Amino acid sequence: MSAVRIAPQPEWVTIPEAARQLGVSPDTIRRRIRTGELKARGRGKTRQVRL
In a domain, 41, yes or no: yes
Please report, rounded to a whole number, the percentage of residues in the chain having pLDDT higher than 90.
69
In a domain, 4, yes or no: no
Q: Phi and psi (nearest 5°) for 47?
A: -65, 135
Q: What is the pTM of this model?
A: 0.74
Closest to 49 in 3D by CA, of 1, 21, 4: 21
In a domain, 1, yes or no: no
pLDDT value, residue 43: 82
Over residues 35-49, mean pLDDT = 90
pLDDT value, residue 39: 93
pLDDT value, residue 38: 95
In a domain, 3, yes or no: no
How many separate domains does the chain show? Answer: 1
4 pLDDT higher than 90: no
In a domain, 17, yes or no: yes
